Amino acid sequence: MLSLAEMMTKKDGFGALVMGNHALARAMAEAGTMVITSYPGSPTPEIAEALQAPPENVRPYRFEFAANEKVALEIAAGASVNGHPAAVFFKSVGLNVAADSMIQLPLMELPGGMVVILGDDPGANSSQNEQDNRWFARMSYMPVFEPASPAEVYVMYKEAAALAAARRAPVILRLTTHVCHAREKVSFGRLPEAAYDWTPRFDAKNGPYVPITSAVFPLKKRALEKLDAWADYGEKSPLNAVYKGPESDKRRGAIAAGLPALCLLEALRSADAPVDLLKLGVSYPLPAGLVVDFLRSHEEVYVFEELDRVMETELKALAYDRGLACRIHSRRDHHELMGETSPERARAALNEAWPELFPAPEKRSAALPAARLPQMCPGCGHRSAFHAIKKALPPGAITVGDIGCHSLGFLPPYNMGEILFSMGHSVSTAAGLALGNNSRKVVAFVGDSTFFHAGLPGLVNAVSRDSDITLVLLDNGTTAMTGHQPRPGNGEIGERLNLPELLKALGVKFLRECDAYEQEKLGGFMKEAMDHKGFAVVIARHPCMLKFMRERRRANPGLKTQHVDVDQAKCARHYTCAADFACPSFVRHEDGSVTVNPELCIGDGSCIQTCPAKAIGRNK
């Protein structure tokens, strides 16, 4: 079995069982992509995992994490304008951050070509919504390739990258969570032999690159003409294909793209149904001729897609404009517009249209598993910080959360962060909550990675206005939530930035900092900050203990972790450890006793100070 580093550097072709994200990384190397950028976010982090696997000095490409998605996209766009093939990847809601510049890309000539890889998240497995980014493609006139499997991810990326360079244009490769993480045997090709040519090729004559009013309409006209050319490509592309049903009588057909197409195909084949399937690999712009021929040759067609009614709306408009008599079936209820698709959901949808071909699935009843709240890791500094801060807050205080591991503070028993919109929103939203508010303290939380990602503008505004809020900056030194990618300024990549010095340089006048494990000191700082009239910042710093312990174990393979114990003679059963501090290492038994699970406890000792009876101590 090849390691990721070997997979990314093996010169000759080979076959391997890989996940979609890893297949994509290899495709990037084979396609000669020179500049690849990202901001981490599920379901795409494993792309970076593969790209970073080889030592930096043997990578033919340059890969870097950026401060946020907008910066990542702009770096890749700058490389493409300079004649270097480029790609950028991030998660679904990351496109909201990058949209301001992405919308401009189809108006521009990009000599190197550029692939924008989106990790959409039906089912909101790791996102705050189910955003369907196919709408952005329509708004920006950008073509969309939708692979349905790891093998298609590999093929479609190489095709998209080649066409993007040839057409000097951006292309969206839209993945979804299951496509990113599914595994399949993929046959890979050879890596390029020639070394990359980094000669700068920027030429303003390829522009205009400044979309002032006089240039906007010519640029938009060119973007629309390119979109027409992409539609012509889709008419002939083998990525758009018809799968004939058994004994097809041309009465019934179905149209789908991406993973929904595979789910539909499985449902059709398992029922041995005489239904043809038009599977679109290039889903936008619609290949109108191909689609019209398919609709015209069938009496009824089911349109099956995930999330919003994007393709359905366009197909119905196309059928109306062409005067087609084909009846178009689609999803009917709100619940069908939510969640990930599956072969079972495809069969259920087809049952509504053609019950004689697709019998209703048997209703199965099973006991639901017990509810289990997500947990912060044992030893997490955020738990210690929340425990201390909760005791320091006055009645009625309003707490504003942000995106990161600390978002879990919203859950019991901490109940910290009663409102959350998006990354970096907390400072600005808190400032709005403080306007005209003379009776309730407002406290905002933000992690260090999110602070650099999108928190800086809100902080600058709060400093300039001297907003009467307290900001708790939870610094764990990494981008922990998505897999410990480096954040700007932590010294893993590039220069180390001193957070306190940066905050002072930005004009923060009230600033306190301590280790998040120093609960008494942190509680005192919080009271002092809330008593301060105006903007105040408290830094609660502690390294991510999951990352810290992994690194310790790698450095010391035989390391035996010390853990804490509960002295049963001293335990007064206050349950502060299990119920209020709520470290998952503590186990509360039916007889009322509390013990420590040594498999979970990492021996950090942050819990010792929380016990009113002083019953917790280090194992000897």
Task: Mark whether 61 and 156 lie in a shared domain.
Answer: yes
Task: Mark whether 248 and 223 lie in a shared domain.
Answer: no
The answer to whether 8 touches 146, Cβ cutoff 8 Å, is no
Say which amino acid occupies 503: L
pLDDT 10s digits, 532-580: 999 999 999 999 888 888 888 888 888 888 899 999 999 999 999 999 9
Domain-embedded: residue 129: yes
Task: Mark whether 184 and 114 lie in a shared domain.
Answer: yes
Domain-embedded: residue 375: no
* Last residue within a domain, chosen from 543, 568, 596: 543
* Residue 582, domain extent: 560-618
Does residue 154 have a pLDDT over 90?
Answer: yes
Q: Is the pTM of this model over 0.85?
A: yes
Q: Report the pLDDT value the prediction gives residue 369, as an integer from 0 to 100.
A: 81
Task: Mark whether 203 and 245 lie in a shared domain.
Answer: no
Weakest-pLDDT range from 45-54, 328-337, 520-529: 328-337
Q: Report the pLDDT value the prediction gives residue 84, as an integer from 0 to 100.
A: 97
Residue 6 confidence class, pLDDT cut points 50, 70, 90:
very high
Count CB-CB contacts under 10 A for residue 394: 9
Domain-embedded: residue 553: no
Task: Mark whether 506 and 583 lie in a shared domain.
Answer: no
Residue 287 confidence class, pLDDT cut points 50, 70, 90:
very high
Task: Mark whether 311 and 406 lie in a shared domain.
Answer: no
Pick from 347, 286, 277, 368: nearest CA to 321? 286
Task: Mark whether 86 and 194 lie in a shared domain.
Answer: yes
CATH assignment at residue 298: 3.40.50.920
Weakest-pLDDT range from 152-156, 246-250, 277-281: 246-250
Q: Report the pLDDT value the prediction gives residue 193, as an integer from 0 to 100.
A: 87
Q: Which residue has the higher pLDDT, 102 or 491?
A: 102
Task: Mark whether 320 and 421 lie in a shared domain.
Answer: no
pLDDT 10s digits, 230-248: 999 999 999 999 999 887 7
Pick from 104, 142, 138: nearest CA to 219? 104
Pick from 321, 332, 258: nearest CA to 291? 321
Domain-embedded: residue 555: no
Q: Report the pLDDT value the prediction gives residue 282, as an integer from 0 to 100.
A: 96
Task: Mark whether 425 and 468 lie in a shared domain.
Answer: yes
Give me the mean pLDDT over the 274-296 stretch: 95
Q: Report the pLDDT value the prediction gives residue 321, as an integer from 0 to 100.
A: 94
Task: Mark whether 391 and 275 lie in a shared domain.
Answer: no
d(CA 395, CA 248): 70
Hey, what are 476's tokens? 């764990």
Sheet hosting strand 170-176, strand order edge to edge: 62-65, 35-38, 86-91, 114-120, 170-176, 144-145, 282-284
Give me the mean pLDDT over the 319-325 stretch: 93
Which helix (H) or strand (E) segment holds residue 153: the answer is: helix 150-167
Domain-embedded: residue 361: no
Does residue 331 have a pLDDT over 90?
Answer: no
CATH assignment at residue 104: 3.40.50.970
Domain-embedded: residue 207: yes
d(CA 190, CA 187): 10
DSSP string across 255-296: EEEHHHHHHHHHHHHHTT--EEEEEESEEES--HHHHHHHHH
Task: Mark whether 343 and 230 lie in a shared domain.
Answer: no
Residue 485 confidence class, pLDDT cut points 50, 70, 90:
confident
Q: Report the pLDDT value the prediction gives residue 125, as an integer from 0 to 100.
A: 79
Domain count, the chain: 4
Does residue 495 have a pLDDT over 80?
Answer: no
d(CA 39, CA 46): 12
Q: Report the pLDDT value the prediction gives residue 620, as an integer from 0 to 100.
A: 67
* pLDDT, averaged across the chain: 92
* Last residue within a domain, chosen from 207, 236, 265: 236
- The residue whose two tokens read 């390829």 is 206
Q: Report the pLDDT value the prediction gives residue 219, as an integer from 0 to 100.
A: 92
Q: Which residue has the higher pLDDT, 351 or 481?
A: 351
Does residue 108 have a pLDDT over 90?
Answer: yes
Domain-embedded: residue 554: no
> In residues, how long is the chain?
620
Does residue 491 have a pLDDT over 80?
Answer: no
d(CA 279, CA 253): 11
Give me the mean pLDDT over the 404-425 stretch: 90
Domain-embedded: residue 376: no
Task: Mark whether 187 and 58 lie in a shared domain.
Answer: yes
3-state secondary structure 358-393: CCCCCCCCCCCCCCCCCCCCCCCHHHHHHHHHHHHC
Q: What are phi and psi of 140, to 5 degrees?
A: -105, 0
* Last residue within a domain, chosen from 543, 577, 608: 543
